[in-house]
Amino acid sequence: MINIGIVCDVSWDNYILIHNKFKKFDNDFSRLHLIYNKNLQMFTNCAYNNNLSIIRNSGKDISDCAYNLLKICDIWIIFTNNIEYLTLPQLIINKCNEFSIKYIRINEYDKNNDYYSFETDKSFKKTILKLETCSNKSNVTQFDYTDYNDNFKTIHIELNLTSETIQKLKLKYNDQNIKKKENSIKLLYNKDENKLNKSYIKGSKDWNSITYGTNRMNYYKEKIK
């Protein structure tokens, strides 16, 4: 089983390009590793639609998470347009180059020319299927880059909802509902009474129509006599 690391730019939103690559993976041969960040849901949806197994990963900071995955993954698939600074794709590329770990860089503006950090004459799908376990990943040493960690925190903020916060939100929500009811337009009539009145009017019209028809028939009968 080959472990594949998947990362992308923070601003990446090209689902189709990711899907076109994911559909070439073989779930019996590869296992995809994702990192908890802004783009996680997009990757998860794409993996689900292609029946692929994924493993979500996190750590105390982005350096710790990247280090743990670099020790696991045999190759990295990196979706980047090379326009962002101090983000995950840049960190992974630097470390892959440092420790000679294979990666494929996919650019949104050059879809037909993926960059391979290693030599291959095969297609993307065949290259992935022919991969072997990477021995160089065991050489990765611990690192801690404050700039990357701080930048990631500004991008990815954990939502921590305490019981006190939840209670405040509930009270605020209830207050808003009460205000909506108070400010709503009140009906000037009773719905049930209005419905009954409409039924009465309709019944009266039907009765008058029947009476008119009966009287008209009687009139013509008298004329015939």
**Strand partners of residue 106:** 79
Q: What pLDDT is recorded for position 72?
A: 93
* 4 burial type by CB count under 10 A (0-12 exposed, 13-18 middle, 19+ buried): buried
- Shared domain check, 76 and 123: yes
> What is the domain range of residue 22?
2-155
| DSSP 8-class letter at 137 | G
Q: Residue 158 above 70 pLDDT?
A: no
- Shared domain check, 223 and 146: no
Q: Residue 224 above 70 pLDDT?
A: no
- pTM over 0.75? The answer is no
Q: What pLDDT is recorded for position 99?
A: 93
- Shared domain check, 207 and 115: no
Mean pLDDT for the stretch of residues 93-110: 93
**Domain count of the fold of the chain:** 2
Q: Residue 157 above 60 pLDDT?
A: no
Query: Could you tell me if 21 and 50 are in contact, meaning their C-beta atoms sit under 8 angstroms apart?
Result: no
pLDDT tier for residue 148 given thresholds of 50, 70 and 90: confident
Q: Residue 17 above 80 pLDDT?
A: yes
Q: Which residues contact 54 (CB under 8 A, 6 or more apart)?
A: 31, 32, 33, 34, 43, 44, 47
- Boundary-marking domain end, from 121, 155, 189: 155
- Shared domain check, 124 and 34: yes
- Shared domain check, 197 and 146: no
- Boundary-marking domain end, from 155, 176, 195: 155
Half-sphere exposure at residue 158, Cβ-oriented, CA atoms within 13 angstroms: 8
Cα distance between residue 131 and residue 3, in whole Å:
10
pLDDT tier for residue 24 given thresholds of 50, 70 and 90: very high
- Shared domain check, 147 and 163: no
- Shared domain check, 105 and 29: yes
Which one of 71-75, 180-184, 195-199, 205-209 scores highest in mean pLDDT? Answer: 71-75
Mean pLDDT for the stretch of residues 176-192: 60
* 146 burial type by CB count under 10 A (0-12 exposed, 13-18 middle, 19+ buried): exposed
- Boundary-marking domain end, from 99, 133, 155: 155
